[in-house]
Amino acid sequence: MIAILKKELWSYFGNWSAWVIIAAFSLIGTLFLFFFNNDSNIFEIGAASLQSYFVLVPWLLMFIIPALSMKTFAEEQQTGTLNWLFSQPLKVSELVGGKFLSVWIVGILCLIPSLIYLYTVYVLGVPEGNVDLGMTLGSYIGLVILIAAFSGVGILASSLSQNQIMAYLLGVFMCFIMYFGIEQLASYKLLGGADFILQNIGFYQHFLGFTRGLIDLKDVAYFILVISASLVLSNHFINKKK
């Protein structure tokens, strides 16, 4: 697994793709938070808070993470190197785990530049330092876990696809449904009492608690279950390609 992880990280950082994705992610976040006229602009909100950032980031990750994960298995199959990997002395579960960790790590690195936003808000607060650090820390932890969930879903989409374009589109669709689509369906109140169950199937409600600074073990357990299910299914579909 470690060997696969090193190989994948080198493939991201060795050809500048990871650097470009991290830079694009940071640039878009900066434009929305400080320059564009929108509900996320910190100056227009007039509050020393990164809450608008934590609302914006899941939508960016919905497109960024599938872009990172689309190559994990779809590219290997497209180029014919998947059979070569099968011939190596490693288990499919190690192959899936190494690729998952690589996507997760690069996704987490996308958040590092946002510490500049935190420092900026901290300095601009009146008085200086008037920031809810507990809520901010909880939101960052939530994002790290959400990135893992999106990574798992992206790996699953790549394991189901024959090429990278299909893997990307399927990954974006699945992430969108899990984060926003299920939440919106539940909001229509079409299923009566079952709407609450439907609402809790999606990512949004479980991520919302983290943005309030609440780290609930039930939310953590939910994401662990989703990630595990995604990786188990990915392992199954890759095994079928042997």
Contacts 24+ apart (CB under 8 A), 35-42: 42/121
Give the pLDDT of residue 49.
77
Measured CA to CA, the distance from residue 177 to residue 154 in angstroms comes to 13
Give the pLDDT of residue 150.
97
* Region of residue 161 (phi > 0: left; psi between -120 and 50: alpha; otherwise: beta): beta
Which residues, given as ranges, of the chain have pLDDT below 50? none
C-beta atoms surrounding 127 within 10 Å: 6
Give the pLDDT of residue 149.
97
Measured CA to CA, the distance from residue 60 to residue 203 in angstroms comes to 15
SS3 assignment, position 77: helix
DSSP 113: G
Q: What is the mean pLDDT of the chain?
A: 89
Give the pLDDT of residue 67.
93
